[in-house]
Amino acid sequence: MNLSRRDLLQAAFASGLSFALPGLDLRAAETRGEERKKSLVVIWLGGGASQLETWDPHPGTKIGGPTKSIKTKLPGLEIADLYPRVAEHIHELNVIRSLVSKEGDHERGTYLLKTGYRPDPTLIHPSLGAIASHELPNDKLEIPAHISLLGGQFPARGGFLGEIFDAFKIYDPSNGIRNLKARVGDARQQKRLAGLDIVTKSFQTGRRVQVENTLHQLTVERALRMMTSEQLKAFEIDQESQAIRDAYGDTQFGRGCLAARRLVETGVRAVEVTLMGWDTHANNFEGHKTQAKELDPALAALVHDLKQRDLLASTLVLCIGEFGRTPKINGLGGRDHWPRGFSCLVGGGGLRSGVVLGETDTEPLIEQDANKSTAMPHDPIEVPDLFATILRQLGVEFDKEVLTPIGRPMKFSSGKPIERLIAST
């Protein structure tokens, strides 16, 4: 009798596949407690978007360049005129205009803005998405809980929580996911699994560390479960109406944002969608016009769509990059790296909305080298505090101390929540 792939999957589960590491009970992380509702969507602006051409324009000033501003639905708030659609929905989010860090290098800045910690040569910290998927289990989920769409050079990682919490990477969702279907028939696949089970049991015989305590076995289990899951339909964005697809934009990034919404609906805990191309050392203004043609419709549609489907209250949205761009315009018409006063959007997930934090000067004390500049924004916000806020709002104990595989105690965040963003209960 031939078994279906679903039957094969159930047989694989019956063999008792599991995984554990010192200090990390990952199976418990999958199944403990009731299903949580909060999810996270990170819109990653890879390369570092200019705050002056996005959410903190200074038109008519020496540093503002040709960028103009437009009014938004939030009274008193103006953003760059490149974002008319975002302007219609930005009141659902919050604007931070005074993020600061000491990392002006792409790799180091990305590490900080994805983990909340500066790079440490002795360990790798988990990203926000990895922490969310570890701490907010959903035992009904058959596809990865942490997904990266259009991932860049430095994808979100599981760090000391384990590689199992690395972001599952796919690119344009319209192209589907490769290698999901078995390349042989069900009967032959069944024989292969049976053979694997024989090898596994033989390897296990007489060994102190049981095979079920290895990453390999859990990887096999999860792969089989995913291959047969109906939840894979979340990636099928062509099932959406043409009007919805048009709203997000017919671009890879637009399709990624639409897939993010569908994944959140399915129960995925964390989705990261990357839009590269923001490293505008030359032709900054034309470059940002090009980028805005993708970001403006997709981000606006995502916020609107989540709101319309009653998902925004349970989905925290963060739009951020590794740093901003220098107020000073260089000789190539570009802006260089600037970590000393940049912007992000954050909202949803039960946070307050319509809050604007921080302010940057129209004529700051600037030098081209951001590491030497003495410029600082008013009301500076540290990255760890932003991360503590997000984790708290997701329902994660932000200062929880966990043990790394070598027994080193580490907190998820070293920051403190930004109370001005937290809604009163």
Contact between residue 164 and residue 137 where contact means Cβ atoms under 8 Å apart: no
CB crowding 26-35: b at 16 or more within 10 Å, else e: bbebbeeeee
Which amino acid makes up residue 304? Answer: H
Question: What's the mean pLDDT in 128-136?
Answer: 97
User: What pLDDT score does 362 carry?
Assistant: 83
Q: How many residues does the chain have?
A: 425
pLDDT digits (tens, 9 = 90+) for 69-107: 999 999 999 999 999 999 999 999 999 999 999 999 999
Contact between residue 345 and residue 295 where contact means Cβ atoms under 8 Å apart: no
| Residue 125 reports pLDDT greater than 80 | yes
pLDDT digits (tens, 9 = 90+) for 343-391: 999 999 999 999 999 999 887 766 556 555 567 899 999 999 999 999 9
Question: What's the mean pLDDT in 310-330?
Answer: 97
pLDDT digits (tens, 9 = 90+) for 38-73: 999 999 999 999 999 999 999 999 999 999 999 999
Question: What's the mean pLDDT in 209-226?
Answer: 65
pTM value > 0.95: no
User: What pLDDT score does 5 carry?
Assistant: 46
In 205-280, which ranges are continuous DSSP H helix? 215-227, 242-248, 252-266
- All domains in the chain, ordered by first residue: 35-178+229-421 (3.40.720)
Q: Give the list of residues 6+ apart from residue 102 with CB closer than 8 angstroms, or none.
A: 118, 339
Local confidence band at 27 (pLDDT 50, 70, 90 cut-offs): very low
User: What pLDDT score does 144 carry?
Assistant: 93
Distance CA 192, CA 10 (A): 15
Distance CA 32, CA 175 (A): 35
